[in-house]
């Protein structure tokens, strides 16, 4: 590299999605907002789901780098300072593994800084709720909104229950948050919603992208889908297929985390 060439980079790390339409509205837009906010940094992309990476390569012929591949490319490109910003929701398994992969290149970098996932502090929880309520601020008292998170076996999964409590603590008694794969589960959500006795149920993903989970586990026709289960319980259901990355306030929160990492 010649002097004057950019030696600083931001690596945007996402789980990934095989649904191009939601990727364009979420991951791409988050990355574009980072790129515009930090024009002096070169932006790199990496995804952590090797299954999705393989699927896109086979289907579309597009190679999306893993974290290891992105870091190796940065070394080749002469990058010396990197800020890693995940679009992950919580400090879970994916985030832990991502950090391990990045830190394997520590000796080849002058500095590596990590931005926080979306929900890291109590203030992050509050800011995220404010961002989401731009769409749902006029939800009638006799209707409920149920967000679907992913969930994990990692101890960080407790963030989902904390966020559900925070909705209620902020006065939104008719907003619930559950997960596909952990707690709060659909079983506990169903009990709470039945106790509330709403006229209607709204479903929305609490995931960066409105991908396979949103389209199938949440809004699908399968008897296991949340929509089907709530309808079977007698509730009219409306699904909102909008990923978190589509909310301006959520994107601003990621940018805030990039900024904080740069100051560390």
CB contact at 8 A, 175 and 139: yes
Query: What sign has the CA pseudo-torsion 130, 125, 67, 61?
Result: negative
**CA pair distance 252, 209, nearest whole angstrom:** 16
Alpha carbon distances (Å) from 94 to 52, 60, 203: 14, 25, 25
Domains of the chain, CATH where assigned: 8-118+247-263 (3.40.50.1400), 122-243 (3.40.50.1400)
Which tens digit of pLDDT belongs to each residue from 23-55?
999 999 999 999 999 999 999 999 999 999 999
Confidence of residue 5 (pLDDT cuts 50, 70, 90): low
Catalytic (active-site) positions: 150
pTM over 0.85: yes
| Percent residues over pLDDT 70 in the chain | 98
Q: What is the pLDDT of residue 1?
A: 38
Q: What is the mean pLDDT of the chain?
A: 96
Strands of 111-114's sheet, edge to edge? 42-47, 8-14, 81-86, 111-114
Q: What is the pLDDT of residue 39?
A: 96
User: What does the block give as tokens for 245?
Assistant: 């990355």
User: What does the block give as tokens for 109?
Assistant: 């970098």
| Percent residues over pLDDT 90 in the chain | 97
Which tens digit of pLDDT belongs to each residue from 224-256?
999 999 999 999 999 999 999 999 999 999 999
Q: What is the pLDDT of residue 192?
A: 97
CB contact at 8 A, 180 and 205: no
Phi, psi of 161 (to 5 degrees): -65, -35
Per the document, the length of the chain is 264
Q: What is the pLDDT of residue 3?
A: 46
């Amino acid at each position: 590299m010649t002097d004057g060439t950019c030696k600083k980079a931001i690596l945007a790390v996402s789980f990934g999605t095989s649904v191009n339409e939601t990727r364009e509205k979420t991951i791409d837009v988050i990355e574009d907002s980072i790129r515009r906010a930090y024009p002096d940094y070169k932006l790199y992309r990496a995804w952590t789901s090797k299954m999705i990476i393989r699927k896109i390569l086979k289907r579309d012929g597009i190679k999306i780098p893993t974290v290891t591949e992105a870091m190796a490319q940065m070394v080749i490109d002469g990058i010396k300072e990197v800020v890693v910003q995940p679009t992950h929701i919580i400090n879970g398994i994916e985030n832990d593994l991502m950090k391990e992969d990045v830190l394997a290149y520590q000796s080849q970098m002058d500095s590596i800084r990590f931005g926080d996932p979306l929900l890291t502090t109590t203030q992050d929880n509050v800011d995220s709720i404010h961002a989401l309520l731009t769409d749902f601020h006029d939800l009638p008292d006799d209707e409920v909104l149920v967000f679907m998170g992913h969930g994990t076996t990692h101890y960080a999964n407790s963030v989902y229950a904390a966020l559900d409590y925070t909705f209620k603590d902020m006065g939104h008694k008719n907003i619930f948050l559950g997960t596909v794969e952990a707690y709060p589960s659909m079983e506990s959500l169903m009990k709470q919603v039945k106790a509330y006795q709403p006229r209607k149920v709204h479903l929305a993903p609490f995931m960066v992208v409105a991908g396979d989970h949103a389209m199938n586990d949440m809004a699908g026709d399968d008897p296991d889908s949340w929509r089907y289960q709530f309808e079977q319980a007698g509730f009219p259901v409306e699904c909102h297929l909008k990923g978190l990355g589509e909310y301006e306030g959520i994107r601003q929160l990621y940018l805030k985390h990039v900024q904080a990492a740069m100051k560390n």
